[in-house]
Structure 1
């Protein structure tokens, strides 16, 4: 049957050539759209490395002092405020960060040198640093590369650093990074890698980048808080249960003076989800526009392919009717027509693959967020050809269904 179909396609190569060209162009364009959509969706659904459920960010300010008595230092004020909030039974955990909170647009970078790793990489670039108190890892449920809590590994460790999986692989390829020593630039102070976290992403549309966390405790905590100021701390609070904004306002009212430490006080709250929505608003708008364009093109492709094969079958009504007169079975004839259309589609596969290789060499295909794996090629090409195959079958089904029901006299008339 296939040999006969190939012979018929070759004998009708003039008309089939135009159909093949249309299928080739549509398949290439549709594959690019599906591949782009695939990269966006896989990236979006990949783990972020942290959890913001029930997390609120408290806004801090400082009032002017009206007395002449010496007040608390900046680190003491922030520490006292954190402890007062943590004592509330509704609170799960409290942490402080400086320009390092998720979805905060924090963007601090620093050079770091491994003492017994690949220092050639560190000398050529800087890495994003996140200054956080150790409770950060418990509050945001950050796991290590083995799926265990990072907080258990950094708690009580002096001068502790936490590096992401990408940074550990960069500095110590194929080796254990935990327990190794690093230092900043040319400074003599040495820090210990207390844990290797899972991949950390800035948001749902970006890939994980090498980064590290500086745990703020002891003298480093005092230096950082004095440098930035307690009022600029990003105070994050995770509640034990989901609360609405009205519930949180009642919570603040119940706290009373415990939201004040010396002249440092809480003056407002914002759910972490709101920061996420602000940061993703532009990207989600771009995704919506991209999806609308893809849907519009799919509708055009749908009607274009269906119309092409519908017209092709209408022009072959005489051939179909004559085959019926000569004894061809209806179901067999329908299967023959489906197979012929799908063969035309299959012939475009090698050229579409060649088209994809050219796009890959020109860096048009996104291989930065997702590598071009065999699974990615199979999924995107499979989806492309399944969609087009379904359109071809639908375009053939109705006119062939009508043609195989013609009376013999009508079939001979067409022929």
Structure 2
């Protein structure tokens, strides 16, 4: 019995003298646990599907200049001519023109939509022609495609994330719920559908986007001579390592405006 008590006293004395060591070990354990958990979450987020596809997708860069260029046309007219010709190319599956709206690209074109003038959600405005969701293979509801959305600033499609955010605050929210732009109590914004969940960068949450389809007249009036971005998806059978050189050699001259 005395032997057991003696050993217990020795253990207690060593523990009291080694308190700081135990505290340091505990702190190291907490830090390592936090780092492992964070790295695991980052790895899961990185490999989670983005919600859109950029395989076989190219961006067309345009150059302005030359003595023979037509100065009577707006940039919007020239971009529209390029887009129409590009869509007719046999190797092109889909093409789209947009303003500050490419995935994984920074843009400050944000605005807020509200329900009943009180429940609002902020989102990035996507100004694009109807082929945008086809180029990036974004998920759309059957019968409610972006290409069928009426043109105009008061017709929108919401990303799934922003629609879910509205539903969280207003359970009865649906596609038939009328919306208004921030500060506009006169015009009603109509929903045309929902674009499936996606992220606009690898480590981000599902994106809050508001899609608006561009028409020719809207482009001329709203964007005029602004710089646009043209992207297109090439048919898998036509794509390959030498497609870029083939495009510049054979197709680009036919797009010259």
Q: Could you state the TM-score of these two structures normalised by the residue count of structure 1?
A: 0.51
Report the CA distance between 1:59 and its aligned residue: 0.8
Match of 2:178 among 173, 178, 181: 181
Alignment of 1:148-163 (within 5 A): 148=141, 152-158=144-150, 159=152, 160-163=155-158
Q: 1:22 to 1:187 in 2, by over 3 A?
A: closer
Matched, 1:202 2:200: yes
Report the CA distance between 1:233 and its aligned residue: 0.8
Alignment of 1:95-114 (within 5 A): 95-113=96-114
State the alpha-carbon separation in 1 of the partners of residues 9 and 191 from structure 2: 67
Alignment of 1:6-405 (within 5 A): 12-15=11-14, 18=18, 21=23, 23-64=25-66, 66=68, 71-113=72-114, 117-122=115-120, 126-144=122-140, 148=141, 152-158=144-150, 159=152, 160-172=155-167, 173-184=170-181, 185-186=183-184, 188-217=186-215, 219-226=217-224, 228-229=225-226, 232-241=227-236, 242-244=239-241, 246-261=242-257
State the alpha-carbon separation in 1 of the partners of residues 76 and 9 from structure 2: 82
CA contact under 8 A between 2:80 and 2:216: conserved in structure 1?
no
State the alpha-carbon separation in 2 of the partners of residues 167 and 9 from structure 1: 62
Report the CA distance between 1:204 and its aligned residue: 0.5
The answer for unaligned runs of 5 or more in structure 1 is 1-7, 262-415
State the alpha-carbon separation in 1 of the partners of residues 246 and 26 from structure 2: 63
- Higher helix residue share: 1
Which structure has the bigger radius of gyration? 1
CA contact under 8 A between 1:9 and 1:16: conserved in structure 2?
no
**Could you tell which deviates more after superposition, 214-223 or 204-213?**
214-223
Q: Could you state the TM-score of these two structures normalised by the residue count of structure 2?
A: 0.78
Map Cα deviations across residues 140-197 of structure 1 (whole Å, 9 max, x no partner): 11114xxx46x85233331331112232133343335324333333274443211122
- Higher strand residue share: 2
Q: How many residues align?
A: 240
CA contact under 8 A between 2:166 and 2:173: conserved in structure 1?
no
Q: 1:10 to 1:21 in 2, by over 3 A?
A: farther
State the alpha-carbon separation in 1 of the partners of residues 43 and 8 from structure 2: 39
Report the CA distance between 1:110 and its aligned residue: 1.9
State the alpha-carbon separation in 1 of the partners of residues 90 and 10 from structure 2: 82
State the alpha-carbon separation in 1 of the partners of residues 107 and 101 from structure 2: 5
Please give the secondary structure, in 1, of the residue aligned with 2:41. helix
